[in-house]
Amino acid sequence: MISGKTRAPGLRTRLLTVTVAAAAAAILPLASGGAAVAAPEKPSSITKVTDVNPREVTLSVYSKSMDKKIDVSVLVPKDRKKAAPVLYLLQGANGGIMNSGWAGQTKFKEYFTDKQVYVVSFVCGQYSYYTDWQRDDRSLGRNKWATFITEELPPLIAKQFSTTGANAVAGISMAGTSVFNLALKAPKLYRSIAAFSGCARTSDPLGQQYIKYVVEQRGKADVTNMWGPLNGPGWRENDPYINAAKLRGTKIYITSGTGIPGKHDQIDYIHDLNDAFFWSDRYVAGGFIEAVTNQCTHQMVDRLHQLKIPVTVNYRPTGTHSWGYWEDDLHTTWPKIERDLQ
């Protein structure tokens, strides 16, 4: 029997109405030419070029992976009319800030004045190990340095300058670990890598404690944001010692002192108390850190020998963890790298 009352719309009717309305909302923008997809992401690019002097250029580079601009210094070759290879020169733990990097502590710019090579460096990436972190960090922010250094920056350098396509990377201390992992991430990018006073082992107890000291004690960051929990798979994946077989075919140069004070650690005269603290830090902390990296260096070299992978190593009989020795290392290693890049 049919009632004289009008029935309220049922659930099926209401769902049909909502579905039709949603479909119409999706179709109408397309029909009217409106944007139905998200705006395209901004690609990595050079946003500004500044000539510092006839032999140095500063590039303002936007990194898509980190969504920020990075100032990149490029020393140009003595003859810019001829194509030249590229050397990427990486900083230590504090990223070269406060005049503490290659530019402030050495005369590397003067050294490369008569060299036919582009030398690329930047003051940034402190305590990051120049790697891709798994998570953003409250202290250090977003770190996707491996992506920036191996994927974003090289094609921009090649487009901006006349390069040969041959590349090498060198780094000190913290970056002495990074150069190995960068070569593992981009196996065909570098012909040579050079590690000065670095610790290549990352997943063993000594290596983890050293990295934890750099990232947490000095960088005030959470080390598990980098490669995940200690002893986890992320640490093994980023351990050059474990993955050393993948370095076959890359020229490898490694240097390390013993921590015993040497020619760059001599005190001629202590003027005041501040100098006393400086030299104490050089002898005690610098000596200890270099002794640790020396142990790491021996282990990595032994591993490469075990795998029958050629490596050129310079075990300095003395020397603390300090710039005078790294500048010497650059001078003695560059002629070999230069031959590799020919």
Let me know how long the chain is. Answer: 342
pLDDT value for 37: 55
Residue 153 tokens, joined: 């920056």
**C-alpha span between 159 and 141 (Å, rounded):** 29
pLDDT single digits (tens) 36-79: 455 568 999 999 999 999 999 999 999 999 999 999 999 999 99
Mean of the per-residue pLDDT values of the chain: 88
Residue carrying structure tokens 């009319």: 81
The domains found in the chain, sorted by start residue, are: 46-340 (3.40.50.1820)
Task: Please give the single-letter amino acid code of residue 1.
Answer: M
pTM: 0.86
Between 130 and 267, the more confident residue is 130
Interstrand relation of 251-256 and 312-315 (parallel, antiparallel or unpaired) = parallel
pLDDT single digits (tens) 266-306: 765 444 556 666 667 777 888 999 999 999 999 999 999 99
Alpha helix ranges (H) inside the chain = 11-31, 102-105, 108-111, 145-147, 153-160, 174-185, 205-212, 224-227, 233-237, 273-280, 286-306, 323-340
**C-alpha span between 255 and 297 (Å, rounded):** 8
Q: How many CB atoms lie within 10 A of CB 308?
A: 7
**C-alpha span between 267 and 271 (Å, rounded):** 10
Residue 129 tokens, joined: 């190990």
Residue carrying structure tokens 């049909």: 16
Report angle CA 128, 299, 328 to the nearest 5 degrees.
65
